[in-house]
Every structure is written in structure tokens, then in C-alpha cells.
Amino acid sequence: MRLVTLYEREKPRAPLLPTELQQLYGGDLSFSMASVGRPYVIGNFVETIDGVVSFGLPGRSGGEEISGGKPEDLFTMGLLRSMADAVLFGSGSLHAAHGHLRTPAFVYPQAKELFAQLRARLGKPLLPLSVILTSSGNINLDEATFHTPGLAAVVITTNEGALRLARAHRDKLGSVAVRSTGESGTTTPAAVLGILADEFRVRLLLHEGGPTVFGIFLAANMVDELFLTLAPQIAGRGVEAQRLGLAEQALFLPETAPWFTLQSVKQASDHLLLRYAFTQSSYGAALQTMASG
């Protein structure tokens, strides 16, 4: 297994990855986080040629069904997790992928020691914090995410969600961190990131969705980079099978749609692994031009 780098806009100035990881990844990897004033948010998804990120089938709705379990895609997921302070995902993703741990070695155990060495080199704890978002507070606290030694997890929810959790799981909440954003109805990305920065010292956040949660962050202009694996298959859509795309429940106009700049292209046989950096919407660019003029 080894990724081949076809294009790289700018090489990292100082080597960050150990030599063995650089060889597997086909180069180095680093993030510039100084200017955002909040946790730096990177997304990681895999999609088909026609833009489907989930087949939406019972027991077969995860990313591996899309990627075909491509080792290079799983390795990249593990690498990003190993660099992140926290991994964020919604309650839907938690329950759809029963037993899945958002840890580096869970998706690519072959590099377990390399991932651990990288986290030690970065001065991070062995495992990234798991962050579960839920507006309703409907969470299965029996999931392995909440009972794995060394894996810290926090549920971030609304006032109503926190109350529901307290009522439904009064006997289990002692070992589970729950934070309310102080909001009603739904959580906002700004409030979520504020909690993660202030209480959990998160600087680099890996966003693993699902697509509805990712769409909300996109609409709030709070996604800084996107790692997107393009799998060489077509899933199709139908009236009775409205399969999910990358950004659900986020409807942009041509004037407000977010734009990204291509940072790198890597190849794993017929799969392409793309890295994008957020620029801004064309509407935002126009406003900036008007303001500067």
C-alpha cells in the first residue's frame, strides 16, 4: 500500500510526518491554523463519481461501501485522526456504524504503532477526543465509544437534549461528559467550536459528518479543508432511494456557494484522493472587492 502524489500546490515547509508515514502517504502533511481564531476544521469523506456518500442501506450505509474498503483511503482516515485533537460526528453516524471507534488504529490497524508515535511526537494524548453532536439528546450510551479505555468522549447538545439525557440515563451519565451549547432546538457550529476550544483545548478538529452535520458547518463557513476520496463507481439515485450527497440540508445559490482551492491529488490505482482548502463564496469575494474598493 502506498499513495502516489500526482499534484501538490505547496509542499510543507518543515517535515512533520515520520519517514515511514511519509512513504505511505506519498509526502508530508501539515496544517496552517494560525489565522482562523477557532478550531481548524477539516472534513474527510469518500464519494462515488456521481456524488453519493452513502448507499443508505441497513447495515451498509458506511464509507467502506463507497470506497470498497480501499486500504489507502482507510490509511488516510487513520492518519487524519492521528493528527486531530478531536473527531466530530453526529448521533446518526454513531448509531449507523454500531461499534465503530473514531480512533486511528480502528480503521487501519496496520499502522497502529506509527500513528501512536506521531501523536506522541505532536504532544497529543494517545487517542483523539470523540465529539458526538445531537440536538435531541437521543443517544445510546451503551455504544463502545463510551466504554473504551483511553478514549474520551463528549456529547454536545441543546438544553432540551441535555435534559433528555439526564432523565433517560441518570445512572450512566457519571462517566459521560455532556455539554449544552445553551441553545434551543439545534446546536450551531460556532457554539460547538467554542466549547471545544475553551473546555477541551481543541485546535485541529476532524469532521466525519454525516452529511447533514457537515452541510450545517459548510453553511456556517466553518470548514477550512476537505479531504475527499473519489471512488470509481456510480451509485445512482431514484425516487424511492434519495441517496445522500456530501452536504445535506444545505442549499446554496450560485452567489453563495462555497468554493475550494485544490491543494493536492493523490492516486491509489483507480481511486483519487483530493485535498481542498476553503477560499470563500463568490458572493463573499464580491463583497470583499467592493469593500476594498
Model pLDDT, residue 92: 86
Q: Examine the pLDDT at 121 and tell me if it is beyond 50.
A: yes
Percent of the chain at pLDDT above 90?
Answer: 61
The residues pairing with 268 across neighbouring beta strands, listed in sequence order, are: 271
Nearest 10 degrees: Cα torsion 87, 93, 90, 136:
-150
pTM of the model: 0.90
Amino acid identity at 117:
Q
DSSP state of 51: -
pLDDT tens digits, 42-69: 999 999 999 998 887 777 777 778 888 8
Q: What is the dihedral of CA 76, 81, 83, 84, to 10 degrees?
A: 140
Distance (Å, rounded) from C-alpha 293 to C-alpha 287? 10
How far is CA 230 from its chain centroid? 16
Kindly report, residue by residue over 7-50, the tens digit of the pLDDT.
999 877 777 899 999 999 999 999 887 677 899 999 999 999 99
The closest alpha carbon to 88, from 201, 185, 204, belongs to 204
Predicted confidence (pLDDT) per residue in 83-103, tens digit: 999 999 998 888 888 889 999
From the list 126, 141, 24, the residue with the least C-alpha distance to 81 is 126
Which three three-digit cell numbers place residue 246? Answer: 456530501
What pLDDT shows up at residue 173?
A: 67
Sheet containing 153-157: give its strands across: 4-8, 260-268, 271-278, 225-231, 40-48, 204-207, 86-90, 129-134, 153-157, 177-180
If we measure between CA atoms, which residue out of 93, 103, 105, 108 comes closest to residue 62?
93
> What are the backbone angles phi and psi of residue 40, rounded to the nearest 5°?
-80, 125
Question: Tens digit of pLDDT for each residue in 154-193?
Answer: 999 999 999 998 887 777 666 689 999 999 989 999 999 9
Q: For residues 90 and 207, is the Cβ–Cβ distance under 8 A? A: no
Segment (H or E) for 79: helix 71-83
pLDDT category of residue 203 using cuts at 50, 70 and 90: very high
